[in-house]
């Protein structure tokens, strides 16, 4: 029996449709059974054949030039001229000098010049401590000033371990006597909890939590000292002119530890040794005057510190010292002596988005 041509054609088309449907069904089931990597491979092969992107749009044939050959963006128009940075100084704290003298002897009080000097005073501007000068060897200490307007004679009157809480206006931390270092865990760090935007990432510091301890305190100190022993100045170094800043940083850190964790740390003074820092976790003591301030920190504080010093010639801040054992992708030795914008040179869009705010 012969079917009419029209009927045979319809039957053949039905067979093709059925076969196509079965094939699509099997393909779909196979796709579901694939692993994620196998699915990605199939997708990439199909995408390369039909030239479409993940959003369903055809891939453009135009090519975007790499960042390095793109026209450089114009700098923000609100960047002040160089001379304005030279005329900008840190906050003035001369009003706290008298009450911050460690042991206000008559000689110490007589060395204080009072709160009459101003940043606009020509003698202050011409008497700024030179960028690379050691404050201990300046020949005219009464007329040589730090950028905060404090004369070097006043620095001497303040003595070692002055009241930095009074000088800075930031109170010492509250004591935490119930703290147990052997069971302390590090605070969770979640820098990308929300959508990421390139900013300076400044957040308000909880002053009680500036330096926190954890149960790996002793091991961290040991590891950091071993790093310094093998890599030296890549981890810890300092340049001329950073002496006063390093001393202040060290004294501030030790004062904090003694105030926050009195059950573990204390400072004592004797005529033969001077100040001695007692570390109850490591069961040792450090004679502060026997080593550079950054080495005192290396021996007792498992934190990284970078010392930025203002250059009076241009008003910008430069990396002049530090102890950095945990930096990622760079070392202290590779950045020491650089200005902020030089340190952050490799960061994409730093110049356009952050340089002005950082320098200011």
The whole-number pLDDT of residue 122 equals: 76
Residues 6+ positions from 193 with CB-CB distance below 8 Å? none
How far, in Å, CA of 352 to CA of 340, rounded? 14
Burial code (b: 16+ CB inside 10 Å, e: under 16) for 40-71 equals eeeeeeeeeeeeeeeeeeeeeeeeeeeeeeee
The whole-number pLDDT of residue 2 equals: 53
The whole-number pLDDT of residue 69 equals: 43
The whole-number pLDDT of residue 194 equals: 60
Whether the CB-CB separation of 234 and 331 falls below 8 Å is answered with yes
Q: How many residues does the chain have?
A: 360
Beta strands in the chain (DSSP E): 236-238, 265-270, 274-279, 284-287, 305-310, 317-323
Which DSSP symbol is given to 207? G
Residue 287 in 3-state DSSP?
A: strand
The whole-number pLDDT of residue 70 equals: 44
How far, in Å, CA of 279 to CA of 248, rounded? 19
Residues in the chain with pLDDT values less than 50: 1, 5, 56-57, 59-71, 103-107, 115
How far, in Å, CA of 64 to CA of 283, rounded? 61
């Amino acid at each position: 029996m012969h079917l009419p041509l029209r009927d045979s054609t319809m039957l053949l088309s039905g067979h093709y449709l059925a076969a196509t449907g079965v094939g699509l069904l099997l393909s779909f089931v196979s796709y579901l059974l694939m692993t994620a990597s196998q699915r990605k491979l199939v997708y990439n092969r199909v995408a390369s054949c039909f030239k479409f992107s993940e959003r369903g749009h055809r891939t453009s044939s135009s090519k975007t030039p790499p960042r390095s050959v793109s026209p450089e963006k114009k700098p923000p128009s609100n960047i002040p001229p160089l001379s304005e940075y030279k005329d900008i100084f840190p906050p003035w704290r001369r009003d706290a000098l008298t009450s911050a003298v460690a042991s206000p002897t008559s000689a110490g009080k007589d060395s204080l010049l009072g709160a009459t000097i101003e940043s606009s005073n020509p003698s202050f501007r011409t008497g700024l401590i030179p960028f690379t000068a050691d404050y201990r060897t300046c020949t005219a200490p009464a007329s040589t000033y730090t950028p905060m307007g404090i004369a070097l004679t006043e620095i001497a009157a303040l003595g070692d371990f002055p009241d930095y809480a009074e000088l800075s206006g930031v109170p010492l931390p509250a004591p935490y006597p119930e703290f147990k270092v052997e069971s302390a865990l590090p605070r969770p760090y979640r820098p990308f909890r929300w959508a990421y935007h390139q900013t300076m990432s400044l957040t308000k510091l909880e002053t009680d939590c500036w330096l926190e301890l954890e149960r790996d305190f002793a091991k961290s100190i040991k590891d950091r000292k071993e790093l310094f022993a093998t890599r030296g100045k890549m981890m810890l170094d300092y340049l001329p002119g950073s002496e006063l800043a390093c001393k202040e940083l060290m004294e501030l850190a030790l004062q904090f530890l003694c105030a926050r964790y009195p059950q573990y740390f204390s400072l004592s003074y004797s005529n033969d040794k001077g100040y001695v820092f007692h570390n109850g976790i490591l069961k040792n003591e450090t004679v502060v005057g026997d080593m550079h301030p950054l080495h005192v920190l290396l021996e007792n504080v498992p934190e990284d510190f970078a010392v930025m010093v203002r250059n009076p010639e241009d008003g910008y801040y430069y990396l002049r010292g530090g102890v950095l054992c945990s930096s990622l992708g760079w070392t202290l030795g590779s950045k020491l002596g650089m200005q902020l914008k030089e340190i952050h040179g490799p960061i994409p869009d730093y110049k356009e988005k952050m340089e002005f705010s950082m320098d200011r």
